[in-house]
Amino acid sequence: MSFLEPLFLALGIAAAVPLLLHLMRRRAGARVEFPAVRYLVRAEQENSRRLRLRNLLLMLLRVLLVLLIALAAARPVGRLAGTGHPATALAIVLDNSLSSAAAAGGEPVLAELAGAARAALARATAEDRLWLVTADGHVTGGTADALLAVVDSTRPLAGAGDLPAALARAAALVQAAGLPARQLLLLTDAQGTAWQEVPTLPRVPVDAFVPAGPVPPNHAVIAAAARPVRFTPGGTIVARVAGADSTTYAVALLRDGAEPQTIARGTARAGEEIVVHTTPSVRGWTGGFVALPPDELRGDDRRHLAFWSGEPPAVRVDASAGTFVAPALDALVQSDRARRGAAIVVAAADVADRLPALLLPPADPVRVGAANRNLERLGVPWRFGTLRRGGADVRGERLEGVTASQRYTLQPAAGAVADTLATAGGDAWAVAGDGFVLLASPLAPTATSLPVRAAFVPWLADVLAQRLAADPGVVLEAAPGALVHAPEWVTAWAPAAGGPQQLVVEGALTAPTESGVYFLFRGPARAGALVVNPEPEESVLDRLSPSVLRSRLGVRDAQVHASRDAFAAAAFDPAAGRSLLAPLLAGALLVMAMEGWTARRGAAGRG
């Protein structure tokens, strides 16, 4: 039994009043002379047993009455024997995360969880309000039969989902139902990584079912990526596997209209980085995966990746770019990351004659005006402002440790879109746009440390290949079903394996629930890829102990059951919330009537 207003239990102290009156009544009163005391003595002797019983009964009835009123004021919620369970608002949270697909004892964990859910739903009545919430937050409400159908059709997710959020959502549903009896049923494999956060729940009792048995062994690809994202045309695929021991792997690339091409096989130890250099035959945006042999959890045995493959950019370095760019380009050419040509220009902004170009400030400040005029002519919506001196750290990708001692402020012109690649001293230091990358410092050691840093060549390669060599493209990574913010120019997406395109409005899309590679489209052309993979931590199947899980559920009234029968018996627990107010008030009225009847019998004796 629990109480909604427990402070009113203090009224029970008043029960001492009739008790004290009963104990003190024989000591009260004055001394009165009465000659016929002998008759009184005889009457008392004859009546004393009945009187004692009546007075004791009256005292007990009055104490009981006070206690019943105090209990009723505290608004108890509890069990009434033999009345079945009250109308209950009950939500079942079914953990169908990827880990629930792990086979244990020849049967997926989810099948055992679903069996427990069915056993619990078998106790539902027509008066109950029921919901089923899966790990991805999907809610189904309705009758027990409707929920049983959903339970039967529920399949494991390709990712972790968000169980704490699902539990919080379920709690909100039962809380809003307005029924005094509320309960949450959680069916989960108690995977430790799924319960890192403690949900904030209202005061709702939670009964959890965690299947007993050992955790199955699992190998998983926990990382896979193409480096760089733009192969020119070669690149590297990097991957890492997890597991108790070593395992074989295969790296494969997708081919339009054909089976994936396996480009590498091998054996890797747990945590070892797999590196595969490859020059794919396909050009443009494509994908691939790193796969392991099937094991108890197959959903994490394959991890997808995507990249762009094409010819290396043709670059011409103008003398105005300074003395450091040309050697860097030589290094890129030698490594097939670039080639010499005129497709991309690297030059000072005052002499560049075309886009795409990597534009630098003129070495002579007096040429800034000419540079700005040339930027206007080229259609670059940025202008050089005042020259600032003094060291400032440059912050941007691949620019760690770079400083800028001389820099111009970069001032946006009308129509400029802020695509800032790096900042220095809080100001834009490198900005990008359609066909240009503009720096605020000349590539000279007197202006910035970038040319003399080891990161200069990779940075230059990225700028040439990713920003200037072709249309803008992007590789997005997401968990299954996650909300993804894509660039605004993404108009649609479609599975790499083929299928209808799905439109994207204002860059917002929901990742598919199946792992894989999905191409992004800018109009009719592929312009990137969405790579959907399960969360790496979902591959760690270690379970929480019942006590730890109980502490992670965020409610005091939480029970963890390992037995399906015990769990089913706890479902729709009558003790979970029938209001006892009416029975208590009825009891109080009955006691009041009994007290009145007993007292009237005494009063009739007085009359």
Q: Which positions touch another protein (CB under 8 A)?
A: 25-44, 46-47, 51, 54-55, 602-603, 605-606
Residue with Cβ nearer another protein (49 or 556): 49
Nearest distance from residue 595's CB to another protein, in Å?
Answer: 16
Residue with Cβ nearer another protein (34 or 556): 34
Nearest distance from residue 64's CB to another protein, in Å?
Answer: 21
Residue with Cβ nearer another protein (40 or 548): 40
Nearest distance from residue 88's CB to another protein, in Å?
Answer: 51
Nearest distance from residue 591's CB to another protein, in Å?
Answer: 21
C-alpha span between 109 and 101 (Å, rounded) = 6
Residue with Cβ nearer another protein (34 or 524): 34
Are 552 and 192 a contacting pair, CB within 8 Å?
A: no
Nearest distance from residue 14's CB to another protein, in Å?
Answer: 22
Distance between the two ends of the chain, CA-based, in angstroms? 45
Nearest distance from residue 50's CB to another protein, in Å?
Answer: 8
C-alpha span between 330 and 410 (Å, rounded) = 29
Are 243 and 270 a contacting pair, CB within 8 Å?
A: yes
Residue with Cβ nearer another protein (31 or 556): 31
Are 501 and 447 a contacting pair, CB within 8 Å?
A: no
C-alpha span between 433 and 168 (Å, rounded) = 43
Query: How far, CA to CA in Å, does 35 sit from each of 39, 40, 44, 45?
Result: 9, 10, 15, 17
CA-closest candidate to residue 476, choices 504, 517, 513: 517
C-alpha span between 219 and 358 (Å, rounded) = 45
Residue with Cβ nearer another protein (43 or 275): 43
Residue with Cβ nearer another protein (5 or 44): 44
Q: How many CB atoms lie within 10 A of CB 148?
A: 18
C-alpha span between 41 and 323 (Å, rounded) = 129
Nearest distance from residue 592's CB to another protein, in Å?
Answer: 20
Nearest distance from residue 41's CB to another protein, in Å?
Answer: 5
Q: Residue ranges of the alpha helices (H) in 292-413?
A: 325-334, 368-378
The one-letter code for the residue type at 291 is: A
Are 124 and 92 a contacting pair, CB within 8 Å?
A: no
C-alpha span between 352 and 344 (Å, rounded) = 10
Residue with Cβ nearer another protein (377 or 601): 601
